[in-house]
Homo-oligomer: A and B are copies of this chain.
């Protein structure tokens, strides 16, 4: 089967959205830019649109003939890349299922379960190994080290070092740095969600990631920024998995964030450090509480 054309399908779906808002499509390179794909893929999309009588296509003339209907879209299951599917399956297995530390991980078995080749699973495991949750025994299996208390403590120790350093850098960013504008936006979103917390508390997870990533970015250090991936994936699956008291937890975190944001905006290193420490401490406690 070689490569799945998930990129094509996903870009096609996104093209239909564009198409429902205009009467003609732009040039091929421009469309490629808009969809983030190469001209080869753009042309495949246009061909399919033409076949489905969505547009008439003659060289530069790409006229919309009708609005796309739900049945024109590819089903969402077909638009996820293989890597995403593998990640989800794997995380479900090791977080939800009984995942005792020390358990062996079998490439072939995982591949069969997910319905894919071993190469892709293998590459996923290699990429994933940098998160410190699994380890390879050469010429033999992988070992699950598990989402344990030690893991959480080691993770948060490094996180705290990095975020304190990043917050210190943040307050000294020049006035015209775009991070200040982004911070303002994030602040506004916090207030909006807090104002309607009962309905919108579940939006916190995404906002949390956006905020902390912004802080880490100001370190201008690739190792610090890259490490944020580890934190993000852990918290991402952690939120999905541990929903007890989510509303209260998130409300409290939003308040802490607002204090932290105000401290950053004050440009005072001491205030920023204090607010950062306070929030990180409670984030650590929350994470630890969810581990048996």
A residues adjacent to B (C-beta < 8 A): 7, 119, 122-123, 126-127, 130, 132, 139, 151, 154-155, 157-158, 161-162, 165, 220-224, 226-227, 230
A7-B139, A127-B126 given; A223·B119 CB < 8 A: no
Query: A162–B227 Cα gap in the complex (Å)?
Result: 14
Q: Is the CB of A132 within 8 A of B226?
A: yes
Query: A48–B60 Cα gap in the complex (Å)?
Result: 71
Query: A223–B159 Cα gap in the complex (Å)?
Result: 10
Q: Is the CB of B126 within 8 A of A158?
A: no
Q: Is the CB of A158 within 8 A of B123?
A: no
Residues of B within 8 A of A127 (CB): 126
A168 CB, min distance to chain B CBs, angstroms: 12
CB closest residue in chain B, given A41: B139
CB closest residue in chain B, given A230: B223
Residues of B within 8 A of A165 (CB): 161
Checking B126, B130, B157, B227 against A221 with a beta-carbon cut-off of 8 angstroms, the contacting residue is B157
Q: Is the CB of B7 within 8 A of A158?
A: no
Checking B123, B155, B161, B162 against A122 with a beta-carbon cut-off of 8 angstroms, the contacting residue is B123
Checking B119, B123, B222 against A154 with a beta-carbon cut-off of 8 angstroms, the contacting residue is B222
Query: Quick one: which of A123, A220, A223 has the most chain B CB within 10 A?
Result: A223
Residues of B within 8 A of A222 (CB): 132, 151, 154
Q: Which 5 A-B pairs have the closest CB atoms?
A: A154-B221, A158-B223, A132-B222, A130-B130, A126-B126
Query: A241–B154 Cα gap in the complex (Å)?
Result: 35
A119-B119, A123-B123, A123-B126 given; A221·B158 CB < 8 A: yes
Residues of B within 8 A of A122 (CB): 123
A102 CB, min distance to chain B CBs, angstroms: 15
Q: 10 interchain pairs (CB within 8 A)?
A: A123-B123, A123-B126, A130-B226, A132-B223, A132-B226, A154-B220, A154-B222, A158-B224, A161-B161, A223-B227
CB closest residue in chain B, given A119: B119
A195 CB, min distance to chain B CBs, angstroms: 38
Query: A155–B154 Cα gap in the complex (Å)?
Result: 20
Query: A221–B154 Cα gap in the complex (Å)?
Result: 5
CB closest residue in chain B, given A151: B222
Query: A165–B220 Cα gap in the complex (Å)?
Result: 21
Q: Is the CB of A154 within 8 A of B7?
A: no
Query: Quick one: which of A132, A165, A222 has the most chain B CB within 10 A?
Result: A222
Residues of B within 8 A of A119 (CB): 119
